[in-house]
């Protein structure tokens, strides 16, 4: 893309009822720092790199349903997080406030929900295929 270099930031923004609360969840889960915090906006970033995850407050937020169901808010995207110890990483995520999804489609992947219902996947590193 013209006007963009490898040092320019890029990121993903999630909606949530309370940006600060969900920002603290993901900062703790990923071990990232809170880079920017405003009343309705939080951005977290890794210690190095140019990617970030931001959360914005959305008063009319509706949690997605996964697997999808007709007539309900569908998941628009989800985060995939590679881990080296799936069992320990799931335990850590649950301790941070995540919940385990009842449907688990793959042996090397665990689908969880963050505290406001966004699905995210923890998957074992070194697997031949990324999560579906």
Q: What is the pLDDT of residues 47-91, one digit of tens each?
A: 888 889 999 999 999 999 888 889 888 878 899 999 999 999 999
- Find all residues with CB under 8 Å of 65, minimum gap 6, and list them: 72, 73, 74, 75
| pLDDT over 70 at 131, yes or no | no
CA angle 34, 40, 44 (to 5 degrees): 20
1-60: CATH topology is 3.30.720
- Find all residues with CB under 8 Å of 30, minimum gap 6, and list them: 44, 46, 53, 81
CB 37 within 8 A of CB 45: no
Q: Which residue has the higher pLDDT, 59 or 6?
A: 59
Which part of the chain is CATH 3.10.180.10?
62-132
Q: So what's the pLDDT on residue 115?
A: 97
| pLDDT over 70 at 129, yes or no | no
Q: So what's the pLDDT on residue 54?
A: 96
For 2, the token pair is 């013209």
Supply the pTM of this predicted model: 0.85
The CATH number of 62-132, from 3.40.50.720, 3.40.30.10, 3.40.50.1100, 3.10.180.10, is 3.10.180.10
Phi–psi pair at 42, nearest 5 degrees:
-135, 135
Whole-angstrom CA distances from 82 to 21, 64, 74 are 23, 22, 24
Q: So what's the pLDDT on residue 77?
A: 84
Which part of the chain is CATH 3.30.720.120?
1-60
- Could you report the per-residue pLDDT of 101-119, keeping only the tens digit for each? 999 999 999 999 999 999 9
Q: Which residue has the higher pLDDT, 94 or 65?
A: 94
CB 43 within 8 A of CB 84: no
Rounded distance between C-alpha atoms, residue 87 and residue 18, angstroms: 29
Whole-angstrom CA distances from 94 to 13, 17, 88 are 22, 20, 10
């Amino acid at each position: 893309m013209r006007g963009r270099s490898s040092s320019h930031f890029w990121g993903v923004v999630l909606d949530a009822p309370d940006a600060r609360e969900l920002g603290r969840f993901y900062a703790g889960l990923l071990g990232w720092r809170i880079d920017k915090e405003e009343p309705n906006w939080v951005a977290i970033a890794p210690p190095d790199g140019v990617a970030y995850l931001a959360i914005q407050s959305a008063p009319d937020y509706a949690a997605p349903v996964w697997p999808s169901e007709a007539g309900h808010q569908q998941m628009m995207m989800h985060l995939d997080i590679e881990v080296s110890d799936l069992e320990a990483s799931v335990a850590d995520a649950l301790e941070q406030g995540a919940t385990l999804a009842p449907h688990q489609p793959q042996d090397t992947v665990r689908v969880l929900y963050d505290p406001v219902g966004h699905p995210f996947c923890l998957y074992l590193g070194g697997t031949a295929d990324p999560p579906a």
